[in-house]
Amino acid sequence: MAMDAITPKNEIARAEPVKRPSKEEAEEAVRTLIAWAGDDPAREGLIDTPKRVVNAYKEWFSGYTEDPVKYLSRTFEDVQGYDDIVMLRDIDVESHCEHHMAPFLGKAYVAYMPTEAVVGISKLARVVEIFSKRLQTQETMTSQICDAITESLAPMGTAVLIDAVHECMSTRGVHHKDVSTITTQFTGVFKSDADLRNRFLRMTGRG
């Protein structure tokens, strides 16, 4: 299914800080969940599981401690007259839905039409990674990535497409394993110029 991620503008840098529990408290919470699931957190195979889960969460949700705007702050103006689309395809998306904390995995396609400066291409991939390493909805993440690029680089236009499979849908509930969700967000010339927007979509393999 496809939809435009039309959401209110929100903070594009870092989520509001929250008081984090200690590592020991987090590990105890995992033990509680293991017991709730019906197993014994003290048995041999599960003794170290709380520590492993907390360490995994530290990696999976590292986006809360990073500022995507920082990665977009250094630009380059010597582009030898280049005045066309800059696009990254097939950026890995590894995120977790905020409703069930289940993974959703897919690809992101990010493009912008530069004005006078460009940003290092790896920084665009880093922005996707930072927002994906938070509890998310795909719609919100699409909008956040687009807003970060638009507000930091002030390009003539920005285009973002994400195609992902949600395990909260494939491994529970309706159990549809072959359904992916596509979200898009367009600004500037990508929104006003249908030909340019369709060119972007063709470059993603969907036009």
The pair of structure tokens assigned to 4 is 């435009």
CA pair distance 185, 11, nearest whole angstrom: 17
Q: What is the dihedral of CA 125, 104, 162, 184, to 10 degrees?
A: -130
What's the CA angle centered on 127, arms 140 and 187, to 5 degrees? 55
Strands (E) across 55-154 are located at 75-76, 86-97, 103-113, 118-119, 135-136
Cβ–Cβ under 8 Å, residues 153 and 114: yes
The pair of structure tokens assigned to 177 is 């394993």
Cβ–Cβ under 8 Å, residues 184 and 2: yes
Cβ–Cβ under 8 Å, residues 206 and 131: no
Residues annotated as catalytic (active site), given as ranges: 97-100, 138, 166, 168
